[in-house]
Structure 1
Amino acid sequence: MRSDLSSSQTQTVFPPELEQMIFEIAAYSWRPMIPTLLLIAWRVKIWLEPLLYRTLIVADDRTDDSRLSLNTIGQNIPTAVEPEHLLSLIRTKPSGFFRDSVRNLFLAHAVRDEELTIVSACSGIENLWLGHTTICAINDLKTHRLKRLHCTFEALFGETGADFTQPLFAVSTWIELTRLPNLTHLAFGDQNYLEMVASFLPHWESLRAVLFLSRASSLDDTDPFNAYGDWVHGVHLGCDFWSRADEFIARRKAGEVDRLDYWVPGINYGETVDVALSDVEV
């Protein structure tokens, strides 16, 4: 009896702060393990559930972007969720949960009301990829603290599309975009409007880089466009077309790259895009 009492008295107990740090390191090291870790104890669930939703991929079979599958991206991926399931979670989770949890959002959806609900709930996002079928427009993001945005011009101009027969409408939309105070990186998959974008650069105080993504001409047309995988890679490891653009800009400003060179090649872990880049001199 005395032996048992002595054993319980000398049992090592981690401080809660250290215990939380250990579990968070484990969660970041292998994200697919997070759902299992949530089952250990209630306190662990409180610590780690926000990390489970730190990055969300929202896609359904109503969009071409639904080819973004778990097998395409790999195993150590963020949370991929169907819109209906996410909307259910938004209704049942405490107010502010997704605002405080989600920082990276890949949205490939085609139902405007549902998109607005998702974007409104995830108002803390800093890194947003809007699929080409997404209806969400820039006016829906005014309250967000976006730093990195990848989208189509259709997403910027909303359901009416980029109607350049109405110059005032086009200009007002771009002015709204330049007023996103934290936006530092902007990427498009279409180079047709490069000159128009360039005309707004002097008014964009926060912007550091504009990227135009394009498929490398040497690729077979049947190969998957792996910018999705690159985006996920960057979310996890910080190495993606954004970081390569920043490195390229730094090298060019240091005189290591010709100042007339605006092309950043992809890298060889499956990346299939080149990046046409225009940096903003401050």
Structure 2
Amino acid sequence: MSSTAPRLPPELEFAVFSEAAKVSRQVHYTLLLVARRVCLWLEPLLYRTLFFGHEYRSPELSTMSLPRQSFLVVTVRHIVVCGNPPGAPLRLFSAVPHIAIGGPYRARDMRDAFFALTNLRSLATDPRIIADGCLTTADAVRPVFAVLTHLELFRRPPGVAEFCAALPCLTHVALNEDIDSWDDAEPVIDAILTKSTKLILLVVLEEPDELPLADCVSESLSDPRLVITTSVDWAEGALDMWSYWDAAREFLQGKANGLIAADQFRAWRC
């Protein structure tokens, strides 16, 4: 309801519910239960996603009561971390399934908290939180990645194809970086598609105001799992929203149904 919509004054609302409660004790209890039930249903929806970083109004975990922390632990499903905060959010929400990390975070505290995550399903991150240089198959078998299905990387480090292929449950990959030369990027993209036999979808994210990368795809790269599109938020791959993952899946479905030509890779977003 908008702030300008007609509404009862609080005093009148109080009077209405007070009079209704006087009808009988049963009605009184019913009103209490309805209000409590609605609160139990709706309050968790406010906290499905939490943001931590200097640019956000982040919750202060150090002063939060234990009951409140316990409530959030079972409620929060998406975490966005940027602006160099400490590892406390990841330690408290170690079982959260969807996380976006917006910085390299080489600090020991942050890395330790990251590698202690236990239920990570989708991750959007700078890969330097995993390793400073080359990604390896040894990195991929760490417990933190045991159930990871969706991975978005903000850089394309050496070893990325082998790393992705070694992730046990990975089905969706997104590369989100400024690609200066498609000729340099295409061999890496082709290697990821070739080595990752379980992969359902590889999304390459481009800037909407740059030369369309889809025009640069060589004829030899004909893998139908490749989709090129744009993102509207740096963390959207791990957020509870309509995202490039959804746009890419619709695009692939269109290809499968014969509505989109096999040599087309660009999924337009409105």
Class of the TM-score when normalised by the shorter of the 2 chains? 0.5 to 0.7
- Counterpart amino acid of residue 109 in structure 1: P
Q: Determine the structure 2 residue equivalent to 1:104.
A: 99
Cα 1:230–1:105, aligned 2, differ >3 Å: closer, same or farther? closer
Cα 1:88–1:211, aligned 2, differ >3 Å: closer, same or farther? closer
Deviation at 1:265, TM superposition (A): 2.5
Deviation at 1:251, TM superposition (A): 0.2
Task: Name the SS of the counterpart of 2:169 in structure 1.
Answer: coil
Distance 1:249 1:266 in 2: 14
Distance 2:193 2:233 in 1: 29
Check if 1:197 corresponds to 2:217.
no
Cα 1:243–1:231, aligned 2, differ >3 Å: closer, same or farther? farther
8 Å Cα contact 1:103-1:125 kept in structure 2:
yes
Cα 1:133–1:203, aligned 2, differ >3 Å: closer, same or farther? closer
Regions of 4+ moved over 6 Å: 15-18, 29-35, 41-44
The structure in which a higher percent of residues are helix is 1
Check if 1:83 corresponds to 2:102.
no
Residue of 234, 243, 246 corresponding to 2:246: 243
Distance 2:50 2:117 in 1: 24
- Counterpart amino acid of residue 180 in structure 1: L
Cα 1:247–1:234, aligned 2, differ >3 Å: closer, same or farther? farther
Task: Name the SS of the counterpart of 1:100 in structure 2.
Answer: coil
Aligned residues: 209
Structure 1 spans left out of the alignment, 5+ residues: 36-40, 61-81, 155-161, 163-169, 220-225, 268-282
Q: Determine the structure 1 residue equivalent to 2:126.
A: 131
Q: Determine the structure 2 residue equivalent to 1:149.
A: 151
Residue of 8, 23, 27 corresponding to 2:43: 23
Residues 33-112 of structure 1 mapped to structure 2, 5 A cutoff: 46-52=70-76, 54-60=77-83, 82-84=84-86, 87-88=87-88, 97-111=92-106
Task: Name the SS of the counterpart of 1:243 in structure 2.
Answer: helix
Question: Sequence identity, in percent?
Answer: 14
Deviation at 1:260, TM superposition (A): 0.3
Residue of 153, 160, 167 corresponding to 1:180: 167
Distance 1:126 1:257 in 2: 30
Deviation at 1:233, TM superposition (A): 8.0
Structure 2 spans left out of the alignment, 5+ residues: 1-21, 60-64, 212-229
Deviation at 1:109, TM superposition (A): 2.7
8 Å Cα contact 2:247-2:267 kept in structure 1:
yes
- Counterpart amino acid of residue 240 in structure 1: S
Deviation at 1:112, TM superposition (A): 5.0
Deviation at 1:17, TM superposition (A): 7.8
Deviation at 1:150, TM superposition (A): 1.4
Deviation at 1:246, TM superposition (A): 0.7
Q: State the TM-score, normalized to the length of structure 1.
A: 0.57
Residues 151-170 of structure 1 mapped to structure 2, 5 A cutoff: 151=153, 152-154=155-157, 162=158, 170=159
- Counterpart amino acid of residue 185 in structure 2: Y
Residue of 266, 269, 276 corresponding to 2:269: 266
8 Å Cα contact 2:98-2:239 kept in structure 1:
no
8 Å Cα contact 1:59-1:108 kept in structure 2:
yes
Cα 1:135–1:44, aligned 2, differ >3 Å: closer, same or farther? closer
